[in-house]
Each structure stands twice: as C-alpha cells, then as structure tokens.
Amino acid sequence: MAHALIKSIAITAALASSTSALANPETQQLDKQSMALAKQFLGKLKPQLMHAMKNGGPVHALSFCNTKAPEIAADLSKSSGWHVNRVSMKPRGATATPDKWEIKALKHFEAEKMSGIPVKQMAYSEIVDMNGKKTYRFIKPIPTGGVCLACHGTHIAPAVQQKLHELYPRDKAVGYHIGDIRGAFSFSKTL
C-alpha cells in the first residue's frame, strides 16, 4: 500500500512537470513509434467512420464503430507487438475503462486544457513497473470534433440512442462538446 502510494506520487510529480511534452531522451525512440501508431490508428478509423456516416448515417456508422474500432486496435496490436487501446473517463467500449495510471494522465490532461494548452499537443509517456515487468506506456488525448457529436454529444437522435443502448447498455460516452477530451490513445510495450 505504502509502496503504491509512493509510486502514484512519483507519477503525479512526473506528470506535473511534463507539460505534456515528450522530453525524456530515454523514451524518445519509443515516443516516436507511439506517435506513428496513434496516427496509424486514426488513419484507419477516421476516413472509414466519415464514409460510414456519409453513406449510411449515424446508426449505420455506430455498428461500424462497434465492430471496426476493436478490430483495428487488435490488428495494430498484432502488427506492432504493442498493446494498443483507447480509454476514456466516460467509457463506451469494452476495453475503454482506464486503469490508475491512465486516470491520472487523463486528469492531468484536463488540468492542462484548463490552463490553455491545446489538446493536440498533449501526450505523456513513462517507463513503469507493470506486473513486475518494465513497461513503456504512452497516452495521448483525443479531442472531440463536430462529427463526433452525433454519437458522443449532448443531443443524440432517438434512433442513435436506441442503438447505443442496445450495443452498450452501460454507455457513459455522451454529453461531450466540441474541443472536450473524448478519451485517449493508450499504448504499452513490455521492454
């Protein structure tokens, strides 16, 4: 318990001094790979999501996100050898519930946003002990855009709401506004 507390203070201190810049020379190479992975994830998901929205509307696109987003994460995990995931303080997906490290980082990003730092510039990485294994962890917040509001906003159409309820009875991922931090990419790699 005492040990866990010391560790969590250490993480907070590291986060507090980071201003989200990835400035640790020890993790520079891994940071670069993480940024590339985040880009890849977005590049695979966003154009297809836009396409699905345009051609079938949000209810159709919901089914797409439901099956395709976890598939993309699994494919990327396989091809990279990393653990590739997305998390949120208000999770929807089955693997989106953040752990302690992720919660700390997400809260820190919220504080940074309040102080005027652009969400797009934020990212944080650290080498931590995970189940006795030296592990590199990376987290980068994802901002809410206009197109996201159909499924994550404050006014969800009844048909979308119904489908959401069907697919995610415990869904928390609504009520967002443009510019809010919707969640984050969270990657890890055992060293």
Q: List interacting residues with ligand HEC (CB under 6 A).
A: 53, 58, 61-62, 65-66, 69-70, 86, 88, 91-93, 96, 142, 144-145, 147-148, 150-152, 173, 182-183
Q: Give me the least distance between CB of 48 and ligand HEC, in Å please.
A: 11
Q: Give me the least distance between CB of 91 and ligand HEC, in Å please.
A: 4
Q: Give me the least distance between CB of 145 and ligand HEC, in Å please.
A: 5
When the beta carbons of 26 and 166 are compared against ligand HEC, the nearer one is 166
CB-based contact 181:113 (threshold 8 Å): yes
Q: Give me the least distance between CB of 142 and ligand HEC, in Å please.
A: 5
Task: List, as own/partner pairs, every contact residues 163-167 make where C-beta atoms lie below 8 angstroms and the sequence separation is at least 24, other chains included.
Answer: 163/59, 163/62, 163/63, 164/62, 167/62, 167/63, 167/66
What would the two tokens of residue 107 be? 């809260």
When the beta carbons of 113 and 182 are compared against ligand HEC, the nearer one is 182
When the beta carbons of 125 and 144 are compared against ligand HEC, the nearer one is 144
- Euclidean distance between CA atoms 18 and 92, whole angstroms: 29
CB-based contact 146:182 (threshold 8 Å): no
Other C-beta atoms lying within 10 Å of the C-beta of residue 33: 17
